[in-house]
Every structure is written in C-alpha cells, then in structure tokens.
A and B are shown apart, each in its own frame.
Chain A
C-alpha cells in the first residue's frame, strides 16, 4: 500500500493537497482562509495535471538543434498556463469582494457576518 503510494507520489501528493484545500474551504470561517484553501486546491490540480505530462527523461518540447526525443507532453503545460490565468482572476475577484465586505461589515469572520445577517 505504502509502496504503491510512494511510487505514485506525483499523483498522490496533489490529491492530498487537494483534500487539505477542500478542508480549509469547508471548515474555515475566515473568508481569507477559506479562499486560501481554494488556492491550495487550484495549485493541487495544476500540479496533478502537470505531472500527467511528464515523461521520464523527456526534454522540453521545443524543436531546436539540441532537441531529442522523448519530449515532455506540451499540452498539459499549455492547459495549466490557461488555468493559472483563470485562477488568478478568480483570486483577484474574490479579494476585491472580501475588501468590499470588510468595508461594509467591518469583519471577515464568517460567524460574525452571519450574526450581522
């Protein structure tokens, strides 16, 4: 079991990270912490997809004089580039919302916000 986990560390680790993030999103009351959880989840997924594209001993998929097969799969990298952009904009939006909430309510603790109704 453990050996299997170790051999697939590149998949197992992002999964762990993903679950940690999910825990933070669900269990934390502070909006910033909640959002950090979300960011951890995003990072975990990015790492996971990057790991898919890795080929042992592969080189960067750029046709160059020194290039030689096998190449690393470029598609996941392209995807994650887009994914990071998306995550960035989500973060920006969320942070601006949190600032607005703080300006209006004076707190970003979930339980206190609920009391404010």
Chain B
C-alpha cells in the first residue's frame, strides 16, 4: 500500500493532475489508504528542509544561460537526445534556474477565444481549442501544447521572448507572429519583425511575410501575406494556396465544431478570404462554395466534401 500511496502522492502533486475520480475510488478501497497518503504527503512537505536548493556541483555540466554563447553545451547534454531537444532543455533549465518556474495553464474550449496581457507588455491572443502554458515568474516564456495563438511581443534583445512548441523553440526578434500546433504538425506565420526557429539548432530566421511548417512532409519555409497571419482575430481566415486539410482544422477551432473532410476535399487547395460566422449553417452556406466544396451536417458536426452539391 505504501508504494501505491507514493504513486498517488506523485500523481496528485503534478500540476496537471485531473483524475480525481480514480483517486477517490482508490481511497474508498480501504480507509487506511487516506492515512497512508496523508503521512506520505506530510513526509513530502518535510522534504523541503532537506532538498538542496542548488544542484550538486557536477563538473562542467552546469547549464549556462541560453543566450550565453561559446560553451560546447551539446557535448555535456548529449544523453538527452538530439540537438533541438537539448537546446530546448538548456533554455528552459537556465530560465528556471534564474527564478523558480511557476507554471500555469490556459485552456480555451473550441470556439472560445481569450486575450492575455502579460506584465511585460506582451499580448497573447488564444484561439479556441488551445492549451498554453505560461510562467508567473517568467513573462518571457510560453509553451503552446496544442491549438493556436497569436503573439504580439514587446521586444527586448537582452531577454528574448521564447515559445516552445513540442521540441521546437521560437525566439522573437521584435514581433507579431501566430503559431498553430495540432497533432504532429506545427505552423508559424510572422507578420511583423522577425522570429528565430530553434536558435540553438537550425536557427532559421523568419522575417515578416515568411512562414514555416513542420509536419509529415518535413520542415518547409514559405511566403505568407502578413495580413493573413492571425487573421482569425479579425473574424476571418486568409489563405494563399493552403490545403483544405489545414483550413478545416482552423475552421473547427475557430467555430468550435467537429469538422471532418473527405479525402478528396482534404487534397484540394484554396486561396482567398473566408469570413467567420458563429452560426455554422450560415458560415458553410457562404464558405463551402467559395472553396469549391459542399458542407453537410453529420451526427454531431459537419463534413466538407468535394463538389458544389446542395447544402443540407
């Protein structure tokens, strides 16, 4: 039981723990379990007195600030894995070593948007269906776990704003940019200033009007109309030769609906502006023919298929 209780101590201490029903069921299995859990939680709290606040002095392995050039840090952190991961890791560690990380999570439901103003003057517009992590003690950090967010960053060359997306890091250089992260794909568009992709590894520079995609087809850089970046904030979606597969994800997120596409529709591409409308029926009546598609209502959502068929 001690082992099980320790497992629950660790799980419930996790800031992202959600399965309280399972924890309730475990507790109900035996009244002694609550006492074992309490005792271990108290032991955990007592650890504060004995946990050394600074790491053991590992020879030459202490992470240095990410913006501190010149040290061959890849060698010492090789055990972690590839260069990009190591770079992301070093960045996060050195940040959190300066001031204790106090991470909190922002979640929006599909169709719901939220605007966050950080103390440093940075604004983040969060689109629907998005999970974003921020740090109370470090306003220059954000992690986009899934969904879409537009960043209007107050630039500070000595303390760049960094967004981590999976293993990748985007670093601002005075910037307005939009990031989408769904499944295994990441897309970023830059409308002002400049963003550096993975400064510690590929270090790809993305000036205004450039976009980067990292998905099943690999890493690609392309052009994007600056006005199209984060256009969802103005209630429209702007595309230049974009795949309907991407567009349908944007629509689902912005409208808060379940949207599927047929393989034929997914393969099509679209250039133009789609005006968003909270009423899906009215939206598709205008948008589907515009894309050369038709929309039909399915059980609990909508489906886009090829052809200008009758709207149902």
- A and B associate in one complex: no
Task: Name A's B-contacting residues (CB within 8 A).
Answer: none
Task: Name B's A-contacting residues (CB within 8 A).
Answer: none
